Chains A and B, each alone.
Chain A
């Protein structure tokens, strides 16, 4: 395999608080290949959004990257000066946020926000930038883009605003788009449309997507590979089909069991007992051990690392250690 577009290795993000330091991410590693759609799933608080913020260098203070490295085409971007990082944001890595109603500045027209972004990164004249902005709006499916472009955000519906947000994120042709729960705040009826727009426009441009969501359905339809996060750690990574059909980590298996299907007739969906631990109370060993149905003595003392399992699959679980390729 050639060099990945984005490579995250042993990323640690910490939040110092009065009652000690919280580890929001603990040695997270994954790659995103060129043009690939990587789904990132997990419960609230598992560290999905923090991972996205860390990559684009916008972790809310006082949080900080305390270890590991992030490379974009082999070049480190986690420790570079702010002005260099700014030239990467928007230009090479775009980001789409969760709530389109609050992502757009209410006092500027869509045209002003698009043109400003385009001109920040590409040396275009006002008129060229405007043409480009109209074309972008057209591509994200805003009807009568040339007429609507001078409207203010509040003139658009939620779904339309998220299209505008996608246009803004892609304004300078980034190689990677981080979409942080892009459909959570939208009506169910428009969620699928927005995902389609996002996937198609990125595919057209060959941009890779890191799709953060807790909706396995969206992942199943959209992503090439999926990474499952639990308590700030990667539990499992692999091609979507494999992970969904044959989850190797008991947590992933539990997640899949909790998705209703049309063919299934069970009265109750499977639940994982208990709740994800708080960041200040992560158990020793494997973070999932108190809830794991297949827990072993080793799980309570030693943390499992990600083990390669072949066909691009990796899992962090002692169950697979004996047969694991990378086991010592």
Chain B
């Protein structure tokens, strides 16, 4: 177990190093920072002086090590456009994205599992068929279209819900939350649905397929033959086995919810990291782009690690064998 965790940790560090290399390469290949920092009138001597001051005259790998050192200290440089530390800018916007991702992720998981189990157990019911048909829409419609449709129906036509922004927020320490105000919670609804709908249908269809598979297994038949109640069979024996593969997919989906909140945040003008990134791309704000890349990579790596550990918790077969298969 410990060896496994260590191995996974080493792998994670390697992945992060590669991502750091790529994001570092962004600086080198997307324009010359010296040229963009100094005006047109700067002399060659001035340029060289600045280059030396910024350490850009050092060999590539020296600069890379230097970069990693700074990243580890939380220093991602200064945004070209806003002239503020990138780390600070991202941390300000991260709560908005995380709250949105968390709400839509949890909703997608809970509803996805519930509907998946329901449609698997009532395979031939009309409601199941209706749910499955509707879920096709969720899988096939692009996110921005769903967002725009929701805005049109609930914000423009019915005027029930706001179409953009986070509503009022409350500052708690370094965290700016929208959970504590009425307008904050209301503002969360449409973006959360938009962001979570695809994940919900995906999880639902996955749970349904896995559940149907598990219900056909011998151990379910044996459980029935022992006279256990349907409740115990469906929610004890079958659901637990169903969730083993579902956990991986859901974990990875949580990563993509955070990473690809970009579109939803743009549609709803949600003041989160994704919208911030889109603006950075528009203005070629390289430090922000590089930091965003690192952040998303870190989130994926951490989630993957957690998913692997969850596997150990759920599936005893992966735990260290106390002398496997003894006669």
Contact = CB atoms under 8 A, between A and B. Distances in A.
Interface string A93-109: 01101010011111111
A284 interface: no
Contacts of B226: 89-90, 94-95, 117, 120, 168-169, 171
Interface stretch (A13-21, A39-47, A71-79, A153-161): A153-161
A102 B227 contact: no
Nearest to B216: A60
A298 interface: no
Contacts of B228: 86, 90, 116-117, 120
Interface residues of A, number: 37
A99 B321 contact: no
A6 to B, nearest CB: 16
A155 B325 CA distance: 5
Secondary structure call for the A interface:
mixed
Contacts of B323: 155
Interface-central residue, B219, B223, B225, B232, by most chain A CB under 10 Å:
B225
Interface residues of B toward A: which range? 20 to 34
B221 interface: yes
A156 B237 CA distance: 20
A102 B219 contact: yes
B317 interface: yes
B227 A157 contact: no
A160 B327 contact: yes
A99 B316 contact: no
A88 B227 contact: yes
Interface string B201-245: 000000000000000011101111111110010001100110010
Contacts of B322: 151, 155
A154 B219 CA distance: 13
B6 interface: no
B156 interface: no
Please provide the 10 A-B residue pairs with the shortest distance between their CB atoms, ordered closest to farther. A90-B227, A89-B227, A90-B226, A102-B218, A95-B225, A152-B316, A105-B219, A103-B222, A117-B226, A157-B325
Given A89-B225, A156-B326, A168-B226, 9 more contacts: A56-B225, A58-B224, A90-B227, A90-B228, A102-B218, A103-B222, A106-B241, A121-B227, A157-B326
